[in-house]
Structure 1
Amino acid sequence: MSERDPNPGALWRNTNFRWLFGGGVISLLGDQFTLIALPWLVLKLSGDPLALGGVLAAIGAPRAIFMLVGGAIVDRSSPRRILLLTKYANAVLIGLLGALVLTQRVDMALVYVLAAAIGVCSAFAYPAGSALLPGVLEPALLAPANGILMGMRQVAMLLGPLLAGVVIAAGGDAGDAGGGIADARGLGIALLLDALSYLLSAATLARVRPLAQTPPAANKPPLLASLKAGLRYCWDDTTLRACFLYWSAMALFVSGPLQIAMPLLAERLGGAGTYGSLMAAHGAGMLAGMLLSNVRPGLRIANFGTTLLVADGVVGLLFIAMAGVAGVWQGVGLLVALGVVGGYLQVAVMSWLQRRISLDMLGRAMALLMFLFMGLAPLSAALSGWLVGVVGLGAIFAGAGVAMLVVVVCGYVGTPIRHLSET
């Protein structure tokens, strides 16, 4: 069984993967319940969109602040152990919120506190989840496993909100925003179901067995020294440093237009329904790209690095084409193509990182990458929001696409990325 093209049946015969897949399905569907219920709960309590932004910031700020610390602790302990603890903690936090909603004892102050606690948990869960697979699956299974698990996430993002909406409606939530929580029974039920999903997925994760024992924390340096060692590891590795800087630059020009310019494009083309169609097209393309990565994991142009640069060049060209969109179906077609390329790249990059980075450094390295992306996302959104009023919508897409092509050329000429191999 080769690393590039493993036997498709080998993954499903792996007991660890079957437990991960089952728990992942439960957890991802449950997450969608909170993603739908929490914003609506905030609006019912406050009637103020600013309060919703405050709650999202309460989740995002501690997540970003503690992300690097979370990565260091994951490496000092084990991804599986930390992920288990975060699942239990989230079950308690979200279950408490659901119970408070059902008993009509919740207020905005409690929502802010629980949101911040959830954000802290996610700072540990994100690097733990990213670092988990190499410790429980053989290297040959990483690419197909990532393809299936990421594809499953896209399916959950499509089906989960529908299920959540049915549960909330069936629970009797018929009130308007700002109307209080007297009729919020459906929201409380949705939150409790998510809490239950965390417990069930924790039970499946507990059945996963690591391939090797993790050295005890007593044999490892102090936390601050461990954090510095992780940053030094990523900086001193010339190839890894080049990739992180390259991906950060690409994220700067991708995330803002997707967050800001895309809703404005939908508004110009038709409204909220159009926005839903465009986002669904992008999500469907992502799913197709992830499935393609599972069917053809060895699909490459020369090598991994060249494939990465060419694919990012295609993304830049697709963004330039978005500047000329005059109809919904043009936007749908381009976003499907954009999603296919992006989905394939996500699986390929994640699998490469999991093989490339030393296992004892993986939590810290992935935490750093997520920290960079999460830090650049609001900056990119703010920059795009300002530029839309200055240069117009079409120029945002075209300018972002041109900037991506410039980054690709610089990556090809000035970095070792084009020489990257699979190992």
Structure 2
Amino acid sequence: MIQETSHDAVEVLHKRFYLFKDKNFLSLMFGTWFSTIGDGAYFIILGWYVLNITGSEVALGTTLTAASIPRIIFMLVGGALADRIDRKRILMMSLFIRAVLLILFAFLIVGVHRKPELWLIDWIAVSFGIIDAFFYPASSSIVPSAVPTQVFEKANSLIQTVQQLSTVLGPLLAAGLLLFLDYQMMFVGISMIYLLSTTLLSFLKLRRYVDHVSSLENQIIESPSSMWSEIREGTLFVWSSRILATLMLISLMINLLFMGPINIGIPILIKSFGWSGGTYGLYESGFGLGAVLGGLLVVMMKGFRGKFIWLAGLGAFMGSAMAGIGFVYAPWGGILLMILMGIAIAIVNIPLINYIQTIVPANKLGRTMSVLTLMSMGLVPVSYTVSSFIIEAKWINVRELLLGSGILITLLFCSLYLIRDFRNMEEHPVWKNKYLQNDVESS
């Protein structure tokens, strides 16, 4: 009896720590981790660089819009490619090309005496956005290909949590680099991080999809089926599911009200207080730290299974924190609110990503994730443009922008309780079967 109990304990420990012994999983986790660190540092440094050399809110909005539009347009193509060719190859090529772009930009900064024209910065932002657009659909749909089915959900939660950790380290890296005031060094440093990520992902070996990918590549040669027809199929699939369509539309509105006011408003708010770029980095690090804590809570709460009804309330709390951040005049208070916002967003996002990846068939996952991302992010360029324009035109100030947007976000999340599909989303048969299967395996 004692021997059996000991054996059972060993089995439990083996299952719990299996992923940390899986070199394939570690390659994927750390590769995407460093990639997200680079992304976090890049966007903060780029935004602060534009704001400093131009002093214009509209210029900042223009650059962020230039970076986001190609991302959105090419996201669909990236999703279709993720369903047709090796996702590992897509990730590595995206990272390598972005590294080369940043090295070229660093040399261009020196060539134009550290103050390039805005069109040149926007050109780099557009090119970076195009290449980056192929990364997200592949990275968001590669996890089922990299780990065994029985540990997929835990692997996904761990990767999401580690990526949230990089949203702390990325801004902290940016805050440290901004102290040196050497933008050439900053962009070269970020490019080195992308090259490190590329190297780590080179050790990744896809499991379940290796033969499937090969057959798809043969289909490309033998069949005239168009990539655009696959994109259309992905769009129709999303609209055919009421819960997916609901999540997409709510996400569209939330991103309209969140992305511009936060990404445009926070640096302008910090600059209006006379604080440094390092403080901006600490604000963003606070948000990332909150996201890490939120991710850990999701793991501890077993993905919030059976508790999805809480998610709308947490989203409403995030909107309330956003509404108040413009009226906090001490850096530590603003950082605290950013932490709380990060916690709420992670708790909302991670369970919903797990949910989508569970109920969507594997052969449609790449294009479905890209369609959902495209639709939810479709108004982000509008958000950037409108936010920067109304602040530059002095229609309202940055505090009022954050206040109004936060209140509307709170109301939108509260409205989810009026939608039956949201209240009953955990009744989806695929989700319920996976829930029961996990309960049997854990017992």
TM-score scaled by structure 2? 0.75
Match of 1:66 among 71, 74, 80: 74
Over the aligned positions, Cα root-mean-square deviation in angstroms equals 3.9
Once residues 126 and 268 of structure 2 are traced to their aligned partners in structure 1, the CA distance between those partners, rounded to angstroms, is: 30
**Could you tell me which of 7, 10, 19 is aligned with 1:11?**
19
Matched, 1:53 2:61: yes
Deviation of the 1:332 alpha carbon:
6.6
| 1:33 to partner: Cα distance | 4.1
Match of residue 205 from structure 1: 201
Partner of 1:358: 361
Q: 1:290, CA displacement in angstroms?
A: 0.5
Give the equivalent residue in structure 1 for 2:298. Answer: 293
**8 A Cα contact 2:34 2:166, kept in partner:** no
1:117 and 2:127 matched: yes
CA drift at 1:118: 1.0
2:401 paired with 1:405:
no
- Deviation, 1:204, is 1.4
The answer for the alignment partner of 2:219 in structure 1 is 219
CA deviations over 1:53-90 (Å, ceiling 9, x no partner): 33322221211222212211221213222112211211
The residue that corresponds to 1:283 in the other structure is: 288
Contact 2:35 2:95 in 1 (8 A): no
Corresponding position: 1:97 with 2:105: yes
CA distance in 2, matches of 1:126, 1:89: 15
Distance of aligned partners of 1:65 and 1:298 in 2 relative to their CA distance in 1, 3 Å threshold: closer
CA distances 1:276-297 after superposition (whole Å, capped 9, x unpaired): 7765554332211101223332
Mark the CA change 1:196 to 1:263 in structure 2 (over 3 Å): closer, same or farther: closer
User: Could you tell me the TM-score, scaled by structure 1's length?
Assistant: 0.78
1:179 alignment counterpart: none
Once the 2 structures are TM-superposed, how far is the Cα of residue 146 of structure 1 from its aligned partner? 3.3
| Residues 192/368 of structure 1: CA separation in 2 closer, same or farther (3 Å cut) | same
**C-alpha displacement of 1:241:** 3.0
CA distance in 2, matches of 1:25, 1:247: 24
* Alignment pair present for 1:156 and 2:152: no
SS of structure 2 residue aligned to 1:209: coil
Aligned partner of residue 87 in structure 1, secondary structure: helix
Deviation track 1:94-140 (CA, whole Å, cap 9, x = no partner) reads: 12112333455784344333322111101111211111211112234
Counterpart for residue 5 of structure 2: none
Extract unaligned runs of 5+ from structure 1.
174-185
Aligned counterparts of 1:26 and 1:395: Cα–Cα separation in 2: 35
Q: Give the whole-Å Cα distance in 2 for the aligned partners of 1:264 and 1:40.
A: 9
After TM superposition, list the pairs within 5 Å mapping 1:7-406 onto structure 2.
7-42=15-50, 48-104=56-112, 107-108=116-117, 109-167=119-177, 169-170=179-180, 173=181, 186-211=182-207, 212-213=209-210, 214=213, 215-220=215-220, 221-252=225-256, 255=259, 258=262, 281-300=286-305, 303=306, 307-316=307-316, 319=319, 336-379=339-382, 382=386, 397-406=406-415
Structure 2 letter corresponding to 1:223: M
Say which is worse superposed, 288-297 or 319-328, in terms of deviation: 319-328
Q: Deviations over 1:200-250 (max 9, x none)?
A: 211211211111321233415211212111112222234433433344455
Residues 161 and 134 (structure 1), Cα distance of their counterparts in 2 relative to 1, 3 Å cut: same
Measured against aligned partners, the alpha-carbon deviations of 1:350-389 in whole angstroms (never above 9, x if no partner) come to 2222222222211211111211222233555748969968
Q: What secondary structure, in the 3-state scheme, does the structure 1 residue paired with 2:134 have? A: helix
Amino acid at match of 1:153: Q
Task: After TM superposition, give the deviation of residue 27 of structure 1 in Å.
Answer: 2.6
Distance 2:49 2:295 in 1: 33
Cα distance change of structure 1 residues 30 and 253 upon mapping to structure 2, 3 Å threshold = closer
Q: Is the 8 A contact 2:68 2:129 kept in 1?
A: yes
- How many pairs align? 398
AA at the equivalent of 1:339 = G
Q: Distance in 2 between matches of 1:275 and 1:199?
A: 26
Q: Structure 1: how far apart are the matches of 2:61 and 2:256?
A: 21
**Partners of 1:378 and 1:104 in 2: CA distance:** 28
Aligned pair in 2 of structure 1 residues 76, 341: CA closer, same or farther (>3 Å)? same
Name the CA shift for 1:114/1:18 in 2 (closer, same or farther; >3 Å): same
The amino acid across from 2:216 in the alignment is P
Contact in 2 for aligned 1:75/1:364 (Cα 8 Å): yes
C-alpha contact (below 8 Å) 2:175/2:281 kept by paired residues: no
* 3-state SS, counterpart of residue 308 of structure 2: helix
Q: 1:395 to 1:240 in 2, by over 3 A?
A: closer
**Secondary structure at the counterpart of residue 7 of structure 1:** helix
